[in-house]
Structure 1
Amino acid sequence: MITNTELEYKGNLYPNQIISFNQDVDKFNFTSENGVILQITVLRNSALRFRYATENVFEPDFSYAISEDASRGYGDLEVSEEESYYLITTTKLKVLVDKLTMRIQISDHEGNIINEDEIGFHWEENYEYGGNTVKMSKITQNAESYFGMGDKATHSNLKGKRVNNWCMDQYAYGKDQDPLYKAIPFYIGLHKNQAYGIFFDNTFRSYFDFAHERRNVTSFWADGGEMNYYFFYGPEMSKVVKAYTNLTGTPELPPMWAMGYHQSKWSYFPESNVKALAAKFRELRIPCDALYLDIDYMDGFRCFTWDKKKFPDPKRMMAELNEDGFKTVVMIDPGIKIDKDYWVYQEAMEEDYFCKRGDGPYMKGKVWPGECHFPDFTNPEVREWWAELYKEFMSELGVHAVWNDMNEPAVMEVPTKTAPLDTRHNYDGHPCTHRKAHNIYGMQMVRATYEGIKKYVYPKRPFVITRAAYAGTQRYSSTWTGDNVATWEHLWLANVQVQRMCMSGMSFVGSDIGGFAEQPNGELFARWIQLGVFHPFCRVHSSGDHGDQEPWSFDTDVTDIVRKYIELRYQLLPYLYTMFWKYSKFGEPMLKPLVYFDQEDTQTHFRTDEFIFGDHILVCPVQEPNAQGRRMYIPRGKWYNYWDDNIVKGGKEQWVEADIDVIPLFIKEGAIIPKFPVQQYVGELVIEKLDLEVYFKLGTESSTVYEDAQDGYDYNKGDFSLRSFKMNGKENSLVIQQFKDGAFMTSYDSFRINLHGLPFAIESVEVDNEEVPLNEVKPNGNDVIEICKDFTQVIIKG
């Protein structure tokens, strides 16, 4: 612990000696002589909350980030008072509170220091706005690395970086540009194989310095509000990410079609062009599930209206598209055009739903329709009203999903690109200015949208997309990385940003494949598709200013490559759907950076390119032009090259061949990967057999396949199928056991098991203790067998 040396920074104030202490069940309150209260709450054995009040007063305890379903509870909990400190002990942690300085030290039961205050909490009065700038400084441990923080467009390891959180419209942003569209103030620290996480739940503009200014200090601070942060201990990084995600919530399962391939542009119109687009997909046999209508479908960019010249009968059009397997997704922005003849504007004015400036006039800003007012989505009445606006779109016209854009909120032709800071907000009964509400404005807009969509697509499941987000937005929406650029650098950025978002609790994420601004060439587009099909949200979107970015917009060779990888995504949909189920139920990120996958291997701590898709598929995009392959790091263990079944041993960097039609893909030995046949859209085919790609391993490995009706809510009533497979490979035999749960009856009645790397020729097959004639289970060669889906155990012997 740092000694009580006088450390003076001009204008900063610090807690001094603790003069009182009390415990209220799971809360421990420490009060200093100069009126600072530290409240430590034990949420779980390895999850703590730290709140600091000045002048003996806490602010109202309210947060948009925390999920109502967050887990609470702990085992043994003790507190003791020593001569110079208090000690709180859980079954996982020891928390030392210094009596003289109120500084914190957190260690495990073996005495290893996990996290320790440097200066600790300090603050500075904000003379311009009132309140305090609240600050926290921590000691940077030896060789400590940092990860997380949402959509930051920089190296995955944040050591040596300074970033800030302020949702910002950043058209054609560049590498290291900051801030961007998301504000997710959560990071993971890792040192000596000990992982922990800190979530600074403060919606004011916040800053994080990861040993940038001072190499031995990591600090975070905010322009107002409380010093209020949560601490999560692993020591496994997976436990940290899951604990944070549990606290801030996970989404319900989306419909499976939302995981298909989506096509978008600014903008597809009129109706004839949309119909031609759909027809081209089906003609060329390129799978696609959703087409997007950007702002040009509206009448003068007025939300919740249609341009009847471009779309004379949207209900008929969307019904016809749906018959061909296309869902229609429309954009809705927050800016409501100031127009006395516009019904949405009239309703909002009558009910006083628009944001106002500090001295009373309505907040006004220019967006696509011209001068606009902006609903106060922090007012629950406004959210309820906004949700009801979707009734006609969803229930009567047949829109399938909604995309909320420009919701930082973005305002044009002003230096700040957003609302004035004196704009007032209800903040669910805790009135404040835009300084506090800015970072959650987009979150509360998409929350209202989600509630409306969910109500009016019922009994189907909602699908919603947002550009702006704060921690916890994943409960309501998917997202993408914003207005990127068609460059190789942005292909690299898309890879890093999506991995980082998954580590930050928001896994349903992708990028504008091919780049939004400017125009890719065929090679870049092909390489981006190869990456994008392995992102949870898979959508091509472009500005349309520089040419088209449909799969067939380049030469036929590129079209064939694009088709190949979109088809691969559709084959892997049951694997992807299982990934989403694990994310929804357990908070497990859908993509795992190598450091998450194997934190013990220090070689993974600075890798940016490679990631694990789900549990068993290693992906490494090619991110340079004219490449015939690339060097990549293959993590420890044995991996099958997906393309030729060659087995490679990991734990080192190695060269991998990858011509223009190949992305390096490797399958972890022991994996069982479920596959569908190729469909042109989700639900086109009745699945008659489920392929199981079985990759032999000497030893044991487990895999899971989750299935349900792919839409609707019967899965909540037990109508799901959860199959857990355990493989045990030996030199002359392979045993696969299946454990089943759930009442859902799949459309198929058998598995086609494709065996990879089997080290022996099959002599016999035994299913549930009965030997089966080989001619009954091997219709397609020595390494393929077909068996009933309801087997409990199959033994393959050589």
Structure 2
Amino acid sequence: MRLAAFLLIFCIFKYANSVDHTNFKTCEQSSFCRRCRKVTPDQSKFALVPGSLNTYSDSVTADLIHKDNKHLFTLKLEALEQSDIFRLLIDEKTPLKPRYKVEHALKSAPKPGSIKVLEGDAELTIISGPNKAIIIADPFRIDFYQNDVLTVSANAKGLMNFEYLRPKPQQPAAEGAPENAENASANEVQNTNDEINDPGAWEENFKSHQDSKPYGPEAIALDFSFPQAEVLFGIPEHADTFALKSTSGTDPYRLYNVDVFEYILDSKMALYGSVPVLYGHGAQRTAGVFWHNAAETWVDIYTAESNVVSSIVNFVSGSRKSDPLAAHFMSESGVIDAFILLGPTPLDAFKQYTSLTGTAPLPQMFALGYHQCRWNYNDERDVEEVSAKFDEYDIPMDTMWLDIEYTDGKKYFTWDQFKFPNPLGMIKNLTDLGRHLVIIIDPHIKRDSSYFFHNDCTEQGLYVKHSDGRDYEGWCWPGSASYPDFFNPAAREYYANQYALWNFKTVTADVMFWNDMNEPSVFNGPEVTMLKDLVHYGNWEHRDVHNLYGHMQLMGTFDGVLQRDFNQRPFILTRAHFAGSQRYALIWTGDNMADWGHLQHSIKMCLSEAVAGFSFCGADIGGFFGNPDAELFERWYQTGAFLPFYRGHAHIDTKRREPWLYPEKTRLVVRDALRKRYSYLPLWYTMFYEHRLTGEPIMRPLLAHYPKDKETFTIDDEFLLQNRLLVRPVIHQGATKVNVYFPAIDDKKNGDLWYDVDTFKKYANVGYESIAVDSYKIPVFQRGGTIIPKKERIRRAATLMKKDPYTLVVCLNRTGKADGTLYVDDEKTHNYRNGEFNYIHYKFENNLLDVDFIGKPQFKTVAWIERVVIAGLERVPKSATLIVDGISKELEILPFSEAVAVRKPGITVQQVFNIRLNF
């Protein structure tokens, strides 16, 4: 009864109200954050120790000293072999115990490059190709240059902090200090740089939870300035604008993976993921910083707004006109480990980051189709009926999803034998239709003596533990639960083995997985997560590794799914994520709400994730909480059709909202949006392949390709898909028109040509255009100069379209040219890694469409080209001539809206050919 009562109360609290701010810390309630924020700017206490410099072929090292407390630190600065990246590492020289250094976020150990060192009286210059870093000795600062342009400065504001480990004082540092840090005011904390005087330095309470802090204060902090920047962006995940706002007078942005339901918008609060990469962009160049730290982190942002006062002071004093934009990273523990990304273009900076942390693997084609989910489909019959209804109404759908209620009492790797007595039969019914099933596996393990997983983890010592060695026990969906210590290789191996078909016998190799609640979510824990003083494998505290916990689960899941079938590409969805998690899983924006604001923020949030390595991002269509009306439902499906991950999902207490449960008009609008998504599947698939090759994001802010156009710097209601499509969804209630911004290429306001994908109407001017919309209209525009592959025979699932013919859509630029690519393989296995694929380049110039292959074509397919649509011609051609292997064939030309269509070339995508237009 106590368990049932607790879960009932928690569910009412968690899912019947909007987020309660008081359940999550502010910076003032987080002792290390308020200490770091109290460091006096422009009075840095750190300096290089004379005579401590060592130079090597790839790096320099030196000692740093805190001039007040005389504690020593080691500095290492290296240039990476991959150009335009420096790495800065600072640690204690002789710590009382080792400090945690992040593992598993980087795809591999970065290779250092060669450097040249020039020593001066008060500074040191490290040269790497066209780049250099100048280390100023006292006060300590590093300026990073690219081609003699100052791009990033570290500690230019003098906010560096490094709290060294020390024995606990025998007496309290501050008599009468308030016991509960959440009630401490700024006046109750002495404004000194002596961190032991803070009342939360050695022990900290938040609500009913105590953090014992056995190692005392150990925070680190460093500021980075971006002299060339006019806007800062990055550091997801937050429900905020793409361009980061000043934190002057507010809390900093927080990076701390927590379960926040019905999260509020335009907020700097922490959410489910933490990716500590930030970019500064200006009209001349872009640079970035990757803060390689997995502890709780706060980030202050200094923008033009927050620099107004200092700008006035500087002007009066005759110094520089304004302070540069800057960010101040503050982490609870660990070491300073920062990668400086020198750009100079936005895409350069994005690729430099993914060169460190990796790219998303090529997904199976079904993953790019539509996914149907709710908490929960009731039973096998419910699943089969929903699948059948999609066919009845001719609506494409690739994947059915099951939430936690499919299990036997919330015990993962089991099934409810009454609701799902024959899961293998249910799975076969789906796969026979070309569809897939995804089921949820959360990290909380029910403490039940009849549950094999719990017994094994207990006996083998695989759970996260208290400092005295006891298994940690928290509360989540099963009630009393413990959590595997995924940092322990044995725990990860055990967990991965549970996915094997000889262990999990009630699924097939086509079933894929969803890891949720993996922040980790602990209903009765501080801030709905784990205690920070718990202990992980290697004797690391949870505070050191918190933001990595979900990432480590993903590593186990990925290995398990891969090992059960080495030749099938895994598909995994995760809520918690960190830098590098994109190598294993895709993400979504979490427990959103059925309102227009959350629809609008789905674009902003996925844009921020995309530039941080997570191209495979989406939001729950219609909102997880609440019941969307017909208009919101329609517009969300239309927006989701052009986000990388496309899934409808809803809370257990919402009304059922499958498309046919709405009026016919809405069902037809939703069907149209879904069919449009499926027509672009060849483009999506090609973009994901190219993302894997280059690391460039798929979904991009406009500034990625129009970096000189300042209007693009803060636009986050429209976006690019690569440089091929511009998408401006309808995201406001009652809209009959939307303002679409067509960006400028250069300072002279020259722009690209853009073609409406529905009508091929051409837009040639730079600036805002008012575009009329009806209930069916999704404003999407193809850039002039591109060729896009499509498939326009829409079937029930993407898996059934593999052999269907292609349409090539050619939109000409101002010089009558265009080019594009198409990637083709078996859409499922890893055989492409052995060269079994076709990567095709199409080029149109001088009225000739030509084709060549990037690499040797190895994949055999019967898929053919049934039509070529060409927009932007000045005249309508009389006919076209197809030439294959020296043999000519005349083709028919038909008018097609404001374009022309070349009918039935009839050649496979494996053939080399050209098509000449005849006038």
After TM superposition, is the score higher than 0.5? Answer: yes
Change (3 A) 1:650 1:376: farther
Aligned to 1:4: none
Superposition pairs of residues 191-270 of structure 1, within 5 angstroms = 191-211=282-302, 215=307, 216=323, 217-270=326-379
Q: Which residue of 2 aligns with 1:64?
A: 104
CA distance in 1 between partners of 2:77 and 2:255 (Å): 25
In structure 2, relative to structure 1, the CA distance for the partners of 1:763 and 1:381 (3 Å cut) is same
Matches within 5 A, 1:584-595: 584-595=692-703
Q: Does the CA contact (< 8 Å) of 2:812 and 2:818 recur in 1?
A: no
1:588 Cα deviation from its structure 2 partner: 1.2
Aligned mates of 1:779, 1:154 — CA distance in 2:
47
Task: Give the counterpart letter for 1:100 in structure 2.
Answer: D
Note the C-alpha offset of 1:396.
5.1
Deviation (angstroms), 1:120: 5.6
Alignment-derived partner of residue 826 in structure 2: 709
- Deviation digits for residues 222-251 of structure 1, max 9, x if unmatched? 011111110111110101111101100113
The correspondence of residues 662-677 of structure 1 with structure 2, limited to 5 A, is 662-676=777-791, 677=793
Letter matched to residue 169 of structure 1: D
- Hey, what does 2:121 align to over in structure 1? 83
1:740 CA displacement = 4.3
Structure 1 residues 138 and 418 mapped into 2: Cα distance closer, same or farther (>3 Å)? same
Structure 1 residues 575 and 395, CA gap change in structure 2 (3 angstroms): farther
- Asked if 2 retains the 8 angstrom alpha-carbon contact of 1:28 and 1:41, the reply is yes
Q: Is the 8 A contact 2:885 2:913 kept in 1?
A: no
SS of equivalent to 2:491: helix
Give the conservation status (yes or no) of the 8 Å contact 1:639–1:650: no
Residue in structure 2 matching 1:560, options 661, 664, 668: 668
2:515 alignment counterpart: 404
Q: C-alpha deviations, 1:322-367, integer Å up to 9, x for none?
A: 1122211100111111111111111111111111112232211111
Counterpart of 1:96 in structure 2 is 134
Deviation at 1:460, TM superposition (A): 1.6
The 8 Å contact of residues 282 and 707 in structure 2, kept in 1 or not, is answered as: no
| Alignment partner, residue 682 of structure 1 | 798
Higher mean C-alpha displacement, 253-262 vs 456-465 = 456-465
CA distance in 2, matches of 1:770, 1:14: 72
Whether the 8 Å contact between 1:166 and 1:205 is mirrored in structure 2 is yes
Q: Do the aligned residues in 2 keep the contact of 1:686 with 1:747 (CA within 8 Å)?
A: no
Compare 252-261 and 773-782 and name the one that shifted more.
773-782
Q: Find the residue that maps to 1:706 and give its secondary structure.
A: strand
Alignment partners' CA distance in 2, 1:442 and 1:682 = 30
Q: Deviations over 1:282-323 (max 9, x none)?
A: 111110110001101011111111111101111111111211
Contact 1:103–1:121, Cα closer than 8 Å, also in 2: no
**Inter-partner Cα distance in structure 2 for 1:10 and 1:62:** 30
After TM superposition, which residue ranges in structure 1, 4 or more long, deviate above 6 angstroms?
9-12, 769-774
- The range that moved more, 415-424 or 760-769, is 760-769
Structure 1 CA distance for aligned equivalents of residues 504 and 754 of structure 2: 46
Amino acid at match of 1:486: A
Q: Which residue of 2 aligns with 1:124?
A: 163
2:728 partner amino acid? C
Residue in structure 1 matched with residue 73 of structure 2 by the alignment: 36
Equivalent of 1:544 in 643, 648, 652? 652
Tell me the secondary structure at the aligned position of residue 347 of structure 1. helix
Shift of 1:776: 3.8
Contact 2:880 2:915 in 1 (8 A): yes
Aligned residue in 2 for 1:54: 92
Instruction: Work out whether 1:416 is the aligned partner of 2:534.
Output: no
CA distance in 2, matches of 1:265, 1:633: 36
Shift of 1:122: 2.6
Is the deviation greater in 37-46 or in 745-754?
A: 745-754
- Aligned counterpart for 1:152 among listed residues 235, 238, 251: 238
Give the aligned partner of residue 723 of structure 1. 840
Query: Cα gap change, 1:784/1:585 in structure 2, threshold over 3 Å: closer, same or farther?
Result: same
Q: How does 1:627-646 map to 2 (within 5 A)?
A: 627-636=735-744, 637-646=752-761
CA distance in 2, matches of 1:114, 1:12: 18
> Cα 1:568–1:395, aligned 2, differ >3 Å: closer, same or farther?
farther
Deviates more, 1:357-366 or 1:229-238: 357-366
For residues 475-530 of structure 1, the C-alpha deviation after alignment (integer angstroms, 9 at most, x for no partner) is 11111110000000000111110111111101111111110011101110110111
Q: Write the letter of the residue equivalent to 2:265.
A: K
Task: Please report how far the alpha carbon of residue 115 of structure 1 lies from its aligned counterpart in structure 2 after TM superposition.
Answer: 3.5
**Separation in 2 of the partners of 1:240 and 1:112?**
16
Report if the CA contact (8 A) 1:199-1:230 is conserved. yes
Letter in 2 for 1:27: S
- In 2, are the aligned partners of 1:348 and 1:375 still within 8 Å (CA)? yes
1:179 aligns with 2:270: yes
Question: Alpha-carbon deviation of 1:591?
Answer: 0.2
Query: Which amino acid is 1:136 matched to?
Result: L
Distance 1:232 1:307, change over 3 A: same
Q: Note if contact 1:265-1:541 (Cα within 8 Å) is conserved in structure 2.
A: yes
Q: Kindly provide the amino acid, as one letter, of the partner of residue 51 in structure 2.
A: I
8 Å CA contact 2:867–2:903 kept in 1: the answer is: yes
**2:861 aligned with 1:746, yes or no?**
yes
Q: Go from structure 1 to structure 2 and tell me whether the alpha carbon gap of 1:159 and 1:90 turns closer, same or farther (over 3 Å shift).
A: farther
User: Which stretch of structure 1 is more off in the superposition, 672-681 or 30-39?
Assistant: 30-39
Structure 1 residue 773 displacement after superposition: 6.8
Quick one: percent identity of the two aligned structures?
29
Matches within 5 A, 1:416-495: 416-426=527-537, 430-495=538-603
CA displacement 1:78-97 (0-9 Å, x = unmatched): 11011221101112311100
State whether residues 753 and 814 of structure 2, in contact with CA within 8 Å, keep that contact through their aligned partners in structure 1: no
Distance 1:64 1:383 in 2: 13
* d(CA) in 1 for partners of 2:148, 2:795: 55
SS of the aligned residue for 1:51 comes to strand
- Paired residue for 2:21? none
Q: 1:384 is aligned with what amino acid? A: E
Offset, 1:25: 2.5
| Matching residue's letter, 1:38 | L
Matched, 1:661 2:766: no
Gapped runs of 5+ residues in structure 1?
1-6
- Report the residue type matching 2:543 in the other structure: R
Q: CA deviation at 1:614?
A: 2.8
Deviates more, 1:202-211 or 1:683-692: 683-692
Amino acid at match of 2:142: I
Q: Distance between the aligned counterparts of 1:195 and 1:464, measured in 2?
A: 32
Q: Distance in 2 between matches of 1:556 and 1:106?
A: 60
Check if 1:382 corresponds to 2:500: no
Give the corresponding residue for 1:524. 632
1:139 partnered with 2:228? no
Give the distance between the partners of 1:64 and 1:688, measured in 2 at CA: 41
- Could you give the per-residue CA deviations for residues 701-726 of structure 1, whole angstroms, max 9, x where no partner exists? 33111110001111011100000122
Change in CA separation of 1:421 and 1:31 when aligned onto 2, cut-off 3 Å: same
CA distance in 1, matches of 2:868, 2:283: 42
Using the size of structure 1 for normalisation, the TM-score is: 0.94
**Range with bigger deviation, 234-243 or 389-398:** 389-398
Q: Is the 8 A contact 2:550 2:577 kept in 1?
A: yes
* Structure 1 stretch displaced more, 469-478 or 689-698: 689-698
Contact 2:150 2:227 survives alignment (8 Å): no
Residue matched to 1:23: 55
Q: In structure 2, the residue corresponding to 1:753 is in which secondary structure?
A: strand
Distance 1:360 1:61, change over 3 A: closer
Report if aligned partners of 2:220, 2:331 keep a CA contact under 8 Å in 1. Answer: yes
CA distance in 1, matches of 2:591, 2:368: 21
The alignment's C-alpha RMSD in Å is 2.3
Please state whether the residue corresponding to 2:254 is helix, strand or coil.
strand
